[in-house]
Amino acid sequence: MNPILDELKVFTGNGHPELAKSVCEYLDIPLGQAEVFKFANDNTFVRIHENIRQRDVFIVQPTCFPVNDNLMELLIMIDACKRASAGRITAVVPYYGYGRTDKKDQPRVPITARLVADLLTAAGADRLLTVDLHAGQIQGFFNIPVDELTTLPLLGDYFAAKEIQDLVVVAVDIGISKKARDIAEHLGAPLAIIEKRRMNNNDVSETMNVIGEVEGKTSLVFDDEIVTGGSIVNAAKALYEQGVKDVFCCVTHPVLSKDGSEIMAKSKFSEVVVTDTIPMPPEKRNGKFTILSVAPLLGEAIYRIHKGQSVGDLFK
Ligand code: R5P
């Protein structure tokens, strides 16, 4: 084992063990031994199978499908580590579920993203390491340090290597336009923005207008997550109506509801590039998807947090 890292421990629940293993490969350390399962009464149980007293513990667990189970596992794992006298506990949450419920924009609704922050802190997390939050302001829901990594350079470099001529980056909605602008800058391409509207709480969105010059260009549509695929597929349709010649898309988190993957398979996109912040089981994969791994990014951030080095420098 690398002697520098001998106090660092990485554990995983059932949210994304493959990613946790890849992170450990990057760090050149074994995955921490633990069992995380449900009893017959549906209660989640956790046992850490090694000594973690005073260790720097990182628990890798995206709160993706099944969201509540994965969240509860994470909370219980944090509790187990705290009671086992871990020196410091970092919740590594590559996908932060409930991130879309981040404000009171209708009467009598919760701010669940804040509630989750409180739960993680109450359970005993000392830090949060996460990737591309739905809204950066969620960082402020925590009173513990938050490191938010971004996949924009990873996605941007992938498309830069393709050397696509006449490229335009398209933000799926106004909310994502700032991040889309960063990708556009990375690629030296102009930006267009789709005006999207959600009418109510039924997961259906409506594309209103395309703002910007797209005719005759190849579009790269960007969003933070795909769930039903509705927003991004509507965007592709609107772009073809405006005369684009080809459409790619890149999205950080492949949440993908039951039909989402099939909808993307049938879509007009030439390629759908996502990352592995969320697992993509074989039934959700199809020829359209390219999956880029965030394991080196997470591994390097974990190393830097452990060593007290700058995480921001990773993106310079
Ligand atoms: C919403 O604001 C998000 O940025 C995504 O646009 C949304 O989660 C995508 O959902 P769907 O694929 O169901 O349209």
- Distance, in Å, from the CA atom of 161 to the CA atom of 154, rounded to the nearest integer, reads 11
Q: What is the atom index within ligand 1 of the atom nearest the CA of 176?
A: 4
Query: How many CA atoms does the CB half-sphere of 154 hold within 13 Å?
Result: 23
User: Cα(29)–Cα(19) distance, rounded to whole angstroms?
Assistant: 14
282-300, pLDDT tens digit by residue?
Answer: 999 989 999 999 999 999 9
pLDDT of amino acid 29: 97
Atom of ligand 1 nearest to the CA of 229: 12
CATH of domain 3-150+295-315: 3.40.50.2020
To test the pocket of ligand 1, the residue of 64, 101, 223 to mutate (highest count of ligand atoms within 8 Å of its CB) is: 223
Ligand 1 nearest-atom number relative to CA 203: 13
CA neighbours closer than 13 Å in the CB half-sphere of residue 77: 31
Range of weakest confidence among 36-50, 142-156, 207-221: 207-221
**Dist. CA 84–CA 78, nearest whole Å:** 10
Q: Catalytic amino acids? A: 196
Q: What residue ranges line ligand 1, CB within 6 angstroms?
A: 172-173, 175-176, 203, 205, 223-232
Q: How many angstroms separate the alpha carbon of residue 262 from the centre of ligand 1?
A: 16
What residue spans define the domains of the chain?
3-150+295-315, 152-292
- Residue-wise pLDDT for 125-150, tens only, equals 999 999 999 999 999 999 999 999 99
User: Looking at ligand 1, which residue's alpha carbon is closest to its atom 8?
Assistant: 225
CA dihedral 54, 60, 63, 66 (to 10 degrees): -110
Q: Cα 8 to chain center, whole Å?
A: 23
Give distance in angstroms: CA of 223 to centre of ligand 1. 7
- Give me ligand 1 centre to Cα 225, in Å: 6
- CATH number (1.10.375.10, 3.30.465.10, 3.40.50.2020, 3.40.1180.10) of 152-292 reads 3.40.50.2020
Q: Whose CA is nearest to atom 4 of ligand 1?
A: 224
Pocket mutation for ligand 1, best pick of 178, 199, 231, 234 (most atoms within 8 Å of C-beta): 231
The 10s digit of each residue's pLDDT in 81-134 is 999 999 999 999 999 999 999 999 999 999 999 999 999 999 999 999 999 999
Phi, psi of 192 (to 5 degrees): -125, 160
Q: Do domains 3-150+295-315 and 152-292 have the same CATH topology?
A: yes
- What are the respective helix, strand and coil percentages of the chain, to the nearest 5? 35, 25, 40
